[in-house]
Structure 1
């Protein structure tokens, strides 16, 4: 705090003058008079409260002194220094992923960040503000906005979208707004490493607002189930991210929410726990939930659909023995068929290297290698995306010596040296652009796990649409016409045209999509990255200066002094009126 007009400090003698006046004013002595002798009894009540009598007698003095002191302070123009957002503009990147819902006693990380944003909005000082939300497709909620009302409404309307944050995409969009303008970049997230932020520009200062550091989490990281004859087999994996042992109650529920398994588990700090449950009742939907006291609730539930469609796997006779043995170890309904008989196969998952079957066959295809082109030599390791197909298997350590050219219209979900390695067609076919003998993949534990994932994805059947991440956009096989999406509580969500791009709902859960002729179920599930919370980090990088000086604001307090001064003057007038102006 400081004073702008210290030259008015000389006015401080005015309250001293008033005080001296009261010291030297004419005093009277008490003199008994016969006509007032009986007043003594009447005054006993006042004498019983000497402090109140003193206040009543000197009220005018105190009011005058206080009003004069406030007046002197107002003349000196007191102020408090507040730091303004630096730079000529400000860009805020707001993380709207599911982990922002982790909360402690002060509310969720997202709620705390919204409070900080509202506070920072008052310090913009008229500078333009751009707000960008994260996700697979970052969005600019505001662009170069200066109106306070619009900014506060935009902050109030921010919501968690449950998508993975994918910060590099949001940062790339933010840098497009910078140009040559000095900019303060605020990142509202839970945790980010300093090395992830581009700091090569002197025109940018980074301010990172992280989550609380004392958040605790126990989560369900894996749930997979498959039908075996008249029963189901399920795999559940839990992780304790705290440092102390935790007691967890695990429940497995069927599609009608009937409890089929209840087990109490003790998980040590930092431990991953997994267990296989067999001989479960056969159901179309299996839900795992844990009852535990932690700070992140949404990852305490996980669901999976158990396919009821095709149950047969047909493998091209030309395929490598390791592929045949791998699928035979997972499913007893595996047949080996000659290549020329695969075109007529229906209601079966076909494993082959014949490229033409992708267009000719109506069955789901797993294409391993290609028979129409020659492979190209590579010398690198595999880089996978966050696709659900790799939920149980990691291919990063797999070595591949050569790969085939990719399909232009297919979605790439794994690469080698930035070249496509695993792709998915628009109708869901899986393409692996390498021969098994050209890799060391069968030597890795990920080999049977990925085959199991492929089997579960392609054999879900016509009644299931599959599993999606929140707000995921994907091409799915839907007949032409209008389809309506409903929640598990039969609440209408949205509509989509068959044959167009399908976008999953935002909130995780079980949904159904129906047309006039048929209905399918699907699941919206958190990705593996959103099932883990990290220790929050807050820091600043870089310094932006204007005219060589950092931006600060002197906020005047005069307006807060004027109203009390006016009120005191009114009180003085009332006290004087009651005593009589002649006195």
Structure 2
């Protein structure tokens, strides 16, 4: 036992003052006495009164004395030394939010929920003078709480935390730990399931405890891989069994939502099995499912898409450069040559126009305009001479692998039609390549005649043309495979609003065709990006990260060493001042009630 502020003992003088006030204060009581005989009788009765009855006459004094005494002891802050259960001034907790943490740990509780329960038990051991930080570990870690001492607030954050299903990037998370540990003694606690010691490299010298959570013998069977060979009408399926016991599971295959086959297979303990399937009909979406009640549901389903990509039909309209005419058949097998728009009777649904900006009634299709001629739908101006080398955007996917700084352009035209457009390459404040929307259709424009440049002789030219044609055509049916919460730049094939819809028909997110990026859902599964008019439906599959494809756990371990200067036990000061203040307040309420009832003598 000790005192943090013993100099406040000088305030005991107030107690002496209170005693002096009561000693020198004259106190009287009015009594009506009929005669001296009755007065002597009253005095004798008072002297014979029990001592505690006499004390009651000074109850107000005793209560005031106790209140001042409690306040003085609260000021000197008495404390006792207790052993510190968790090392460090600053405790940093890292929680794995990857998909494998959704596996069952015991009964119906997932590893993630059990980890949150264990963290809450850890927080109950934290002392008042210890700070706590809380990091949710995914592909990019989230610092949920920073150096907080409010444990109730931290427990609320812990309670509301959710799985990200992303692969846990612990090296990045530990870099945050290093940033938080400057000039402080810290201890780090990681809650995961299959984290190994060799995966961790810590820069600082601090104790780190890894708590791997889960069943030692996981009851889990899953799908490792699903491959379709459409040319041979064959499929290959890899199934695995993580438990030591033999299991009988049922697997099913769907093609475009229709059941194709249902079979039963016996999986040996802790082994993989490869299954060859023949006579698989052609389709777009192939889905494999195993029907088995196990500890981990996310690896019981996998989706693969057709490898055959639909090529656009390219319409070359006008008198185009011979370099371009030779290149187009290499980009698409379906190229149609025409002198004018009127020469084309009907356009294919998935089509792209490449034109020299010839006059005529533009049919309103995704178009690559080339500034060979003056006028046209974009109303190109007369040619202007350029003096500077072209400059390009650095973060534009259409310009990947391109370097316009070495391209020479002598003359260029300006677009005078007022449309929504973005400049990708410019020179002398004149846009050389633009991307925009004309009559609700995407367009790209090369605002110079290819004969006025050496660009067709550069290796960049066919790369750009390939990327431009496929950007304008887009893929109206498939977006492909995504990681959980992956943000990716895509091309919307049609102007308007697009909605992200799950398999239950719920709208999860919404984007405009003017947006360049979409973000995939965090939970693995099959989703659909749908245009508001329902004409365009693009499929995407959020797949399970490879690391989380199995649920095997690793032993827990500890690394690092204590940051204390000696090997002695770390002690924490437990103060009682706040309790003394509470008691003083309660006594004050009693004192007020005594005064109100006029119990003073």
TM-score (norm: length of structure 1): 0.54
1:134 aligns with 2:149: no
- Residue 310 of structure 1 contacts residue 348 of structure 1 at CA under 8 Å; is this kept in 2? no
Q: Could you give the per-residue CA deviations for residues 40-77 of structure 1, whole angstroms, max 9, x where no partner exists?
A: xxxxxxxxxxxxxxxxxxxxxxxxxxxxxxxxxxxxxx
1:342 alignment partner, one of 327, 349, 352:
327
1:515 aligns with 2:568: no
1:151 alignment partner, one of 143, 149, 154:
154
Structure 1: how far apart are the matches of 2:238 and 2:103?
Answer: 21
Structure 1: how far apart are the matches of 2:177 and 2:482?
Answer: 28
Structure 1: how far apart are the matches of 2:334 and 2:81?
Answer: 73
Structure 1: how far apart are the matches of 2:254 and 2:207?
Answer: 50
Q: What secondary structure is seen at the aligned counterpart in 2 of 1:280?
A: coil
The aligned residue for residue 501 of structure 1 is: 517
Structure 2: how far apart are the matches of 1:253 and 1:241?
Answer: 25
- Residue 255 of structure 1 contacts residue 286 of structure 1 at CA under 8 Å; is this kept in 2? yes
After superposition, the Cα gap between the structure-2 partners of 1:308 and 1:205, relative to the gap in structure 1 and judged at 3 Å, is: same
The aligned residue for residue 235 of structure 2 is: 234
The aligned residue for residue 485 of structure 1 is: 500
Of 90-99 and 166-175, deviating more is 166-175
1:484 Cα offset (Å): 1.4
Paired residues for 1:356-367 under 5 Å = none
Structure 1: how far apart are the matches of 2:131 and 2:175?
Answer: 19
1:166 alignment partner, one of 164, 169, 184:
169
1:238 Cα offset (Å): 1.4
1:525 alignment partner, one of 543, 554, 563:
543
Q: What secondary structure is seen at the aligned counterpart in 2 of 1:201?
A: coil
The aligned residue for residue 110 of structure 1 is: 112
- Residue 460 of structure 1 contacts residue 466 of structure 1 at CA under 8 Å; is this kept in 2? no
Structure 1: how far apart are the matches of 2:569 and 2:488?
Answer: 48
Q: What secondary structure is seen at the aligned counterpart in 1 of 2:279?
A: strand
Q: What secondary structure is seen at the aligned counterpart in 2 of 1:149?
A: helix
Q: Could you give the per-residue CA deviations for residues 204-255 of structure 1, whole angstroms, max 9, x where no partner exists?
A: 1101110232323322011133545xx9543211122333332221111233
2:125 alignment partner, one of 123, 131, 142:
123
After superposition, the Cα gap between the structure-2 partners of 1:104 and 1:89, relative to the gap in structure 1 and judged at 3 Å, is: closer
1:248 aligns with 2:249: yes
The aligned residue for residue 288 of structure 1 is: 288
Paired residues for 1:285-434 under 5 Å = 285-306=285-306, 309-310=309-310, 341-345=326-330, 347=332
- Residue 186 of structure 1 contacts residue 208 of structure 1 at CA under 8 Å; is this kept in 2? yes
Structure 2: how far apart are the matches of 1:81 and 1:148?
Answer: 19
Q: Where does structure 2 lack aligned partners over 5 or more consecutive residues?
A: 3-79, 313-322, 336-353, 356-364, 367-393, 399-472, 576-601
Q: Where does structure 1 lack aligned partners over 5 or more consecutive residues?
A: 5-78, 313-337, 351-359, 364-406, 412-458, 557-583
Structure 2: how far apart are the matches of 1:233 and 1:137?
Answer: 39
Q: What secondary structure is seen at the aligned counterpart in 1 of 2:116?
A: helix
- Residue 232 of structure 1 contacts residue 282 of structure 1 at CA under 8 Å; is this kept in 2? yes
Structure 2: how far apart are the matches of 1:528 and 1:276?
Answer: 22
Q: What secondary structure is seen at the aligned counterpart in 1 of 2:165?
A: coil
Q: Which has the larger radius of gyration?
A: 2
- Residue 98 of structure 1 contacts residue 160 of structure 1 at CA under 8 Å; is this kept in 2? yes
- Residue 475 of structure 1 contacts residue 501 of structure 1 at CA under 8 Å; is this kept in 2? yes
- Residue 89 of structure 1 contacts residue 183 of structure 1 at CA under 8 Å; is this kept in 2? yes
Paired residues for 1:553-564 under 5 Å = none
Q: What secondary structure is seen at the aligned counterpart in 2 of 1:505?
A: coil
- Residue 95 of structure 2 contacts residue 190 of structure 2 at CA under 8 Å; is this kept in 1? yes
1:531 Cα offset (Å): 0.7
CA RMSD of aligned residues (A): 3.9
After superposition, the Cα gap between the structure-2 partners of 1:521 and 1:234, relative to the gap in structure 1 and judged at 3 Å, is: same
Q: Could you give the per-residue CA deviations for residues 294-347 of structure 1, whole angstroms, max 9, x where no partner exists?
A: 3222111111233664279xxxxxxxxxxxxxxxxxxxxxxxxx9973324555
The aligned residue for residue 263 of structure 1 is: 263
Structure 1: how far apart are the matches of 2:550 and 2:562?
Answer: 34
Q: What secondary structure is seen at the aligned counterpart in 2 of 1:243?
A: coil
After superposition, the Cα gap between the structure-2 partners of 1:552 and 1:533, relative to the gap in structure 1 and judged at 3 Å, is: farther
1:173 Cα offset (Å): 1.9
The aligned residue for residue 426 of structure 1 is: none
1:475 alignment partner, one of 482, 489, 496:
489
TM-score (norm: length of structure 2): 0.53
Structure 1: how far apart are the matches of 2:224 and 2:117?
Answer: 31
After superposition, the Cα gap between the structure-2 partners of 1:246 and 1:339, relative to the gap in structure 1 and judged at 3 Å, is: farther
1:408 Cα offset (Å): 8.0
1:293 Cα offset (Å): 4.3
- Residue 220 of structure 1 contacts residue 237 of structure 1 at CA under 8 Å; is this kept in 2? yes
The aligned residue for residue 333 of structure 1 is: none
Q: Could you give the per-residue CA deviations for residues 121-148 of structure 1, whole angstroms, max 9, x where no partner exists?
A: 1222132221111222211111112112
- Residue 224 of structure 2 contacts residue 240 of structure 2 at CA under 8 Å; is this kept in 1? yes
Structure 1: how far apart are the matches of 2:268 and 2:334?
Answer: 41
Q: Could you give the per-residue CA deviations for residues 416-471 of structure 1, whole angstroms, max 9, x where no partner exists?
A: xxxxxxxxxxxxxxxxxxxxxxxxxxxxxxxxxxxxxxxxxxx9942111111111
